[in-house]
Amino acid sequence: MINALAYSTDSGFYGMGGGFLYSLFDPTYILVIIGLIITLAASANVKSTFRKYDQVRSRRGLTAADAARRILDANGLYNIRIERVSGNLTDHFSPKENVIRLSDSTFYSTSIAALGVAAHECGHAVQHQVGYLPIKLRNGIVPFVNICSYVSVPIIIIGIILGATNLAYLGVALFCAVLAFQIITLPTETNASSRALATLRSMALLDEDELAGAGKVLRAAAMTYFASVASTALQIFRLLLIINNSRRRD
């Protein structure tokens, strides 16, 4: 939805005012390009970091699924299932279904990367158990954010086409809910990683040198969330520039 916004917001804006040639050389596209580069760089980094440490077997030989089960049981979370899900790095915790799903690249793996990822998802489960505030806030605003992400684009487009600047600004304000959601997500992810490393250490599932590798994997994964925040912020800035340019032409 966010990527679609970056492109759909231009399709009718400049043509309406006879500025088609300008739209072909819209200087605000540089913000889209910067956001794309940041996102792709973060994605490439987490994949390469995971591949590197996925080649390093943990000394204890536990699979990620076994490690996750031990961590959950140690926290009294016996009711949470662990399932295998297809894909690569598609690992996630579903609180509604009480299940941690580990991807093909993680489930049976004994690598320190896989154990770090599995422990991270267990960290999310523990967050729900203890009522961690940021994750409660994030889950609470999901319905509102979903609505805002769908209605903000047409509101912005209609506002610019009609020359209704205030309406366009309203659309941008609604789209800011997406940015707020991403910002709230940051502490939930970094905290889950901190919990994961602390648990892997306290339960002696990884040695100290192995923890260093797992930490690099989790930090690389966290950077993808920071990249999303930066990309969305750049898109919002671009929208404001487009609206201001449209108002000046009117």
pLDDT for residue 23: 46
In contact, 78 and 59? CB cutoff 8 Å: no
Residue 33 pLDDT greater than 50, yes or no: yes
CA 2 to chain centroid, in Å, comes to: 12
Whole-number average pLDDT of the chain? 88
For the entire predicted model, the pTM comes to 0.83
202-211: pLDDT as tens digits: 999 999 999 9
Nearest CA to 67 out of 27, 108, 26 is that of 108
142-194: pLDDT as tens digits: 999 999 999 999 999 999 888 899 999 999 999 999 999 999 999 999 999 99
* Eight-state DSSP code of residue 17: G
Distance CA 139, CA 158 (A): 30
pLDDT for residue 199: 97
Q: For residues 17 and 222, which has the higher predicted lDDT (pLDDT)?
A: 222
**Where does the pLDDT of residue 249 fall: very low under 50, low under 70, confident under 90, or very high at 90 and above?**
low
Distance CA 5, CA 20 (A): 19
Distance CA 218, CA 221 (A): 5
Residue 4 pLDDT greater than 80, yes or no: no
Q: Exposed (0-12), middle (13-18) or buried (19+): which is 209, by Cβ within 10 Å?
A: exposed
Nearest CA to 228 out of 186, 194, 169, 170 is that of 186
pLDDT for residue 29: 86
Residue 41 pLDDT greater than 90, yes or no: yes
53-64: pLDDT as tens digits: 999 999 999 999
**Active-site residue list:** 121
